[in-house]
Structure 1
């Protein structure tokens, strides 16, 4: 189990948020409902979705490497 207060936990949590928001950006109703705000606290999810769509290859590689690390090395 990953601890949120460790560096690995923060990295896993941020990758999950980025990947989830990038998926929400592809679904029209979810995009309109969840990612319409660009400022404030909900703006974090909008920015994460932009990162996930623009940097999809590095994010996917990082997710795979983190999965291997959590499953086999930790």
Structure 2
């Protein structure tokens, strides 16, 4: 009768997609505008940490993005 919509917190694949998009977006923005993401503490420090993960682990992040894209396109 009613359709239940799950948020990204309760669906593991959606949670991984949100995390990967956050890492990629923070890394891209830091590359374009380094002064935007420069705080290391507090709530904005989370974005700095995501950008740092994207910079240092970029082969792994890109591999996970490819795996998630294949799983979304062909397995869903």
TM range (shorter): 0.7 to 0.9
Stretches of 4+ moved more than 3 A in 1?
none
Q: TM-score, normalised by structure 1?
A: 0.87
Equivalent position SS for 2:39 = coil
Q: TM-score, normalised by structure 2?
A: 0.85
Cα deviation digits, residues 5-51 of structure 1 (max 9, x gap) = 20001100000000011111211xx2202x12110110000000000
> Unaligned 5+ residue runs, structure 2?
1-5
1:12 aligns with 2:17: yes
How far apart are the structure 2 equivalents of 1:60 and 1:71?
16
> Unaligned 5+ residue runs, structure 1?
none
| 1:42 corresponding residue in structure 2 | 44
How far apart are the structure 1 equivalents of 2:39 and 2:71?
34
Please identify the structure whose Cα radius of gyration is greater.
2
The structure that is helix-richer by fraction is: 1
How far apart are the structure 1 equivalents of 2:54 and 2:41?
18
The alignment covers a number of residue pairs equal to: 70
| 2:3 corresponding residue in structure 1 | none
